[in-house]
Amino acid sequence: MNFAVLASGNGTNLQAIIKALKSKQIKASLKVVLSDKAEAFALERARKAAVPVVMHVDPKGFATREAFDQALLDILKKEEIDFVVLAGFMRILSPLFIEAYRHKILNIHPSLLPAFKGGHAIKDAYNFGVKVTGVTVHFVDEQVDHGPIIAQTPVEIGANDTFDMLVEKVHAAEHQLYPYAISLFLRGRIKAQRAAD
């Protein structure tokens, strides 16, 4: 199967995926890495790994979110992409995009969903004072940080942990869980079904 990674930032989860591809933990072909940010280091990681299509698509060049998403879909269709992995992609996908890859878009979120949704999940968990947070891999649907859960792993917050220490712990957990969850999906161990109307 061919897949694409969408990323907006440093790309550490992308790097974990590339490592898992090399070790054959993930048995698929990473054909496309796209970013909405020209400066995203994820693009450099993808070039270094010789991903065939590495591209910045500037959302400012499109009048609507749907037009931007259609441009992404056109690239994915041309490259015959079977499923999509979000790795720090900081844009909300439109229903147009989600419907095109229904139950074939995976995302990783740095909390035990449904707790601590949103873009500041690690800080929110730390400030709230919980003893355990974690990481969730889930299918993407039309709601933010929602959709069927594929896998979760807990991360303990020690009494002496600083925020930066917690960030490192959560990222380490992400780099373990995401390749594992992708491999489950590829082996047909995970299936999401549309709820009956």
- Catalytic residues, by residue number, are 109
DSSP codes of every residue in 68-97: HHHHHHHHHHHTT--EEEESS--SPPPHHH
Dist. CA 72–CA 96, nearest whole Å: 11
Residues in the chain: 197
Dist. CA 152–CA 160, nearest whole Å: 24
Owner of token pair 């879909």: 73
Measuring CA to CA, which residue among 38, 47, 62 is closest to residue 15?
47
Q: What are the distances in angstroms from CA 16 to CA 3, 46, 56, 88, 157? A: 15, 12, 21, 13, 23
* The two three-digit tokens of residue 193, written as one number: 């079904």
